[in-house]
Chains A and B, each alone.
Chain A
Amino acid sequence: MIPRFGLAAAAALALFVLLGIFHREAAAPDPAGALIARLRAEGHTIAKPRKALWDTPGFAISVAECPAPVETLVFDFDEILSPGIMPAVQAVEGGTLQVDYGGQRFDRFDRAALYGLRLRNGAAGLLHGRLADPPVILLFWPAGCTPKDVF
């Protein structure tokens, strides 16, 4: 005879399997690709980045009034938050930094604010069944032009 707790556990297992069968996670999005497609649709000119940076997705975007394209890097949140990453990136790229994360823009790399935003996104994602973590987009504006809203 199957014990009563065993029956309850079997029912829970059946529920887990059924949830798994009817649940299909969306394919991982390509944030850089999606961003490029959107910018192209808005009429921006996208070019290859000046240099590839450690396999990190990046591109250059032409902005009116800027003498050179704006270098853009699309970082995983996981990768950018180490205290040593930003000095390394800035040493390579130069220019004036602008940070975009989840639609919010910062004119400096504010680690605490980024963590706060991510925690809020994570909590909302857990409850809504979507854990998509937006990328951290770094824009390096060349000398001679003022950072402004691009996205």
Chain B
Amino acid sequence: MAEAARRHDQSMAMASPGWSVPLPQFCLYLLGILAVQYWAGTVALVVRSPNLDTLERALTQISVLPVIEWFMLFGFIRRLPDRTIPATLAYGSLALVVAAFTLINHQRFAFLFESFALFLLWLRLPDLRRVGLVLLLIALQRGQGMTPLHALVSWVDTRMLTGVMSLIGQPVTRIGNLVLSQGMPDGLVILAGCASSNLMLPMGLGLMILLLVSREQLTRRDYEWVALTLAVAVAINIVRLYLMLGSHAAYESWHEGTGASIVSVAGLVVTMGVWMIATDPKRPLSREAGA
């Protein structure tokens, strides 16, 4: 298997210069277009803000984690070997991106489709496989088309929340996703937008992306770090939901006010912190290699 991959690499490297494209150059230009496509919506939102309030709201929607991920991905492609790839693959990938952003009107779905198609297209190429995987994870991180997952997780969250409250002796009643407590006698319903998966996706996939661009090979320990981060994401969200049940004012704050911002920052700090600990050169590496 490894021998076949090496032969494939050698054949790529020996491709005729007229019919090949240098790998770092290909990645730089193609990822440049994809980065513009990824951020275009955010830029348009900021540029078209009619007043300062709208601008402030638009700016608070920008997450820091994807900025770091894109920055690190560009750093990663600079470290790619000086090989060439066949021109058909390079121009075919570019044509796929152009066709997707032209034909699919909604650019978030276009980006998701392109990332998935490029991931499949590059799956057999050792150097591009990881770039494709990182792109796909960046696209999935936005949670586009993940409604069924969020809906299911919100159902689990409600049960976890009422279970935890019962364990600590808090009086609580649950009807479906409706939680009735002393602080919120009208009840709080856990909708898809409040599901833990909205925090698990950016944190878990974000950590995976950071590890993929900073490691030669993922180890079993890395997957354990990702699992731990996902568990912390669930815990953060359950605590947030519990605090939302305190009163109507608490609900407002933890739903979309200062509390919601605190949760976002906590998610970023945990993800970056775990990544720093996991990639600390002083820590011994697990020998069991994964992807």
A84 in contact with B155 (CB, 8 Å): yes
Instruction: Tell me the minimal C-beta distance from B259 to chain A in angstroms.
Output: 17
Task: Give the complex CA separation of A51 and B97 in angstroms.
Answer: 49
Find chain A residues with CB under 8 A from B102 CB.
Answer: 15, 19
Is residue A9 contacting chain B, with contact meaning CB distance below 8 A?
yes
**A84 near B177: Cβ-Cβ < 8 Å:** yes
CB under 8 Å from chain A, chain B span 54-102: 90-91, 94, 97-98, 101-102
Taking a contact as CB atoms closer than 8 A, the residue among B25, B103, B106 that contacts A3 in the complex is: B25
Which stretch, B124-132, B146-154, B201-209, B223-231, touches the partner chain A?
A: B146-154
Q: Which of B40, B91, B109 is A8 in contact with, Cβ under 8 Å?
A: B91
In the docked arrangement, what's the CA distance between A138 and B17, Å?
A: 63
Contact between A13 and B33, CB atoms less than 8 A apart = yes
- The chain A residue sitting closest to B192, CB to CB, is A78
Task: Answer whether A82 and B155 are a contact pair too, CB < 8 Å, given A5-B21, A9-B33, A9-B94.
Answer: yes
Cα distance A131–B21 in the bound complex, in angstroms: 37
- Does B2 belong to the interface (CB within 8 Å)? no
A151 at the interface (CB under 8 A from B): no
CB-CB under 8 A from A129, the residues of chain B are 105
A76 to B3, CA, bound (A): 53
Q: Across the interface, do B190 and A5 meet the contact criterion of CB distance under 8 Å? A: no
In B174-201, which residues have CB < 8 Å from any A CB?
175-178, 187-193
- Interface flags for A5-44 (1: CB within 8 Å of B; 0: not) read 1101100110111011001000000000000000000000
Cβ contact within 8 Å between A12 and B150: no
Give the residue of B29, B90, B177 whose beta carbon is less than 8 angstroms from that of A82.
B177
Q: How far is the CA of A8 from the CA of B98 in the complex (A)?
A: 11
Q: Is B154 touching A82 in the complex (CB atoms < 8 A)?
A: yes
Report the minimum CB–CB distance from A16 to chain B (whole Å). Answer: 6
A87: chain B residues within 8 A (beta carbon): 175-178
Report A68-98 CB contacts with B as 1/0, cut-off 8 Å.
0000000001110111111111011000000
Instruction: Closest B residue to A11 by CB, please name it.
Output: B98
Q: Of B90, B94, B154, which contacts A84 at CB under 8 A? A: B154
Q: Which residue of A lies closest to B153 (CB)?
A: A82
Query: How distant is A11 from chain B, measured CB to nearest CB, in Å?
Result: 9
A6, A83, A92, A115: the one within 8 Å of B155 (CB)? A83
Bound complex: CA A8 to CA B29 (Å): 9
Choose one: A6, A19, A91; the contact of B101 (CB below 8 Å): A19
**A9 to B151 Cα, complex, angstroms:** 39
B-facing residues in A104-118 (Cβ within 8 Å): 115
Residues of chain A lying within 8 A (CB to CB) of residue B175: 87-88, 91
- Say how far B41's CB is from chain A's closest CB, in angstroms: 9
Question: For the complex, is B253 an interface residue (Cβ under 8 Å from A)?
Answer: no
Q: Does B26 contact A (CB under 8 A)?
A: yes
Question: Which residues of B have CB within 8 Å of A78?
Answer: 147, 150-151, 191-193
A82 contacts B109, CB within 8 Å?
Answer: no
Closest-CB distance, A137 to chain B (whole angstroms): 17
Residues of B within 8 A of A (CB): 21-22, 25-26, 29-30, 32-33, 36-37, 40, 44, 90-91, 94, 97-98, 101-106, 109, 147-148, 150-152, 154-155, 158, 175-178, 187-193
Cβ contacts A to B, 10 pairs, < 8 Å: A4-B21, A5-B21, A9-B32, A13-B32, A19-B101, A78-B191, A78-B192, A83-B151, A87-B175, A91-B176
A residues with a Cβ closer than 8 A to B are: 3-6, 8-9, 12-13, 15-17, 19-20, 23, 54, 77-79, 81-89, 91-92, 115, 125-127, 129-131
List 10 tightest A-B contacts by C-beta distance, closest first.
A87-B176, A84-B177, A88-B178, A129-B105, A9-B29, A84-B176, A88-B176, A82-B151, A91-B175, A81-B151
